[in-house]
């Protein structure tokens, strides 16, 4: 199924902001803002990074299956990763093929969900969640000499990391931080005591919401420092913790950290209110103060994203289920420009 391609204008709530898109080039299909980047497979949860002047996208790979949905997310039964790359507006996206498969991860049993990637001293690292043999989500790491793989997984998951949605942020001094965590199917609430509790519950509505976890990475980015994790604090404009019952602002999953004009931005999905929102802070580990929405709800249940500067333009990569006609676990990665106002606030957009 291939959607009609149109030149689209960005709905950025500011006057005269329109993005012109190239309609063709000699290599065939090119990127259209707000249209699927690729249509031959389903892709989701895009983590975008620039390596050596080219933009690489590390998505999850939704299978074309009919598994019934469940609170555990059984319908998201992914088994491999592909790597996409893009040279910028007016050029086609390249699918570099399978970069890592479940069968090649010694400790994992199923569900290769949203990954992320990083580069360290000429080596490329792929971070990924998967359930271990006991059905517990862990975070693994795989390495390659190329940003497109193939990647070789380490024999054990990362110590001190758990749940889902790894995000690696590398600060200006070269320090690497691993953020992770997601509620419900992502199991974050099962780790509230410091260990895994199978029947762990989310906080009550009037209690502070759970935040993502963060841990420093070793110098080679392949292990964590002392395995010690910290919960990231997200507060409101009065400095009070965002509450668990505040579903339009509280963290659910998909943490992403980037830095713009000296400020750290933590963006994330609110889950059942289907928003992408963001908060800002003065240090990568927080605390972060809630600022507002980035993207209104997309077609489909989940929303997951990344934010990256490529050339002189910031971009928001995200996914929706429009290509599959709204099937929540058959998603497609899309992209649109991201715009800041003069005060550094992200201008909210529509998908």
Residues designated catalytic = 45, 253
Chain position carrying tokens 């889950």: 271
Classify residue 309 as left (phi > 0), alpha (psi -120 to 50) or beta. Answer: beta
CA 113 to CA 185: how far, in whole Å?
11
Q: Which residues make beta-bridge pairs with 253?
A: 269
Sheet containing 167-170: which strands, arranged edge to edge? 167-170, 176-180, 213-216, 230-231
CA 299 to chain centre: 17
Vertex 161 angle, CA 197 and 333, to 5°: 105
Q: Is 43 within 8 Å of 82 (Cβ atoms)?
A: yes
Exposed, middle or buried: residue 129 (CB in 10 Å: 0-12, 13-18, 19+)?
buried
CA distances from 177 to 20, 231, 302, 304 (A): 36, 13, 25, 19
Residues 46-68: b if buried by 16+ CB within 10 A, e if exposed: bbbbeeeeebbbbbbbbbeeeee
């Amino acid at each position: 199924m291939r959607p009609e391609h149109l030149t689209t204008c960005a709905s950025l709530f500011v006057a005269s902001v329109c993005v012109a898109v190239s309609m063709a080039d000699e290599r065939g299909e090119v990127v259209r803002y707000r249209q699927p980047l690729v249509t031959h497979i389903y892709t989701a949860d895009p983590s975008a990074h620039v390596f050596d002047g080219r933009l690489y996208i590390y998505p999850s790979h939704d299978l074309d299956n009919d598994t019934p949905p469940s609170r555990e997310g059984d319908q998201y039964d992914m088994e491999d990763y592909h790597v996409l790359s893009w040279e910028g507006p007016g050029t086609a996206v390249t699918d570099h093929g399978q970069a890592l498969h479940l069968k090649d991860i010694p400790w994992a049993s199923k569900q290769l969900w949203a990954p992320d990637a990083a580069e360290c001293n000429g080596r490329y690292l792929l971070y990924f969640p998967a359930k271990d043999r006991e059905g517990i989500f862990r975070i693994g790491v795989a390495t390659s000499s190329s940003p497109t793989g193939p990647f070789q997984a380490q024999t054990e998951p990362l110590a001190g990391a758990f749940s889902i949605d790894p995000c690696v942020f590398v600060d200006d001094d070269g320090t690497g931080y691993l953020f992770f965590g997601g509620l419900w199917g992502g199991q974050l609430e099962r780790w509230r005591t410091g260990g895994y509790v199978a029947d762990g519950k989310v906080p009550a509505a009037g209690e502070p919401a759970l935040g993502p976890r963060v841990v420093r990475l070793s110098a080679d980015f392949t292990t964590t420092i002392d395995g010690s994790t910290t919960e990231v604090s997200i507060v409101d404009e009065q400095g009070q913790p965002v509450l668990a019952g505040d579903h339009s602002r509280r963290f659910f999953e998909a943490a992403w950290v980037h830095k713009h004009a000296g400020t750290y931005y933590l963006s994330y999905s609110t889950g059942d209110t289907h928003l992408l929102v963001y908060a800002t802070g003065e240090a990568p580990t927080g605390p972060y103060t809630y600022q507002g929405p980035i993207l209104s709800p997309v077609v489909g249940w989940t929303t997951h994203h990344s934010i990256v500067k490529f050339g002189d333009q910031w971009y928001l990569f995200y996914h929706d289920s429009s290509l599959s006609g709204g099937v929540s676990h058959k998603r497609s990665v899309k992209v649109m420009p991201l715009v800041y106002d003069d005060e550094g606030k992200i201008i909210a957009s529509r998908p």
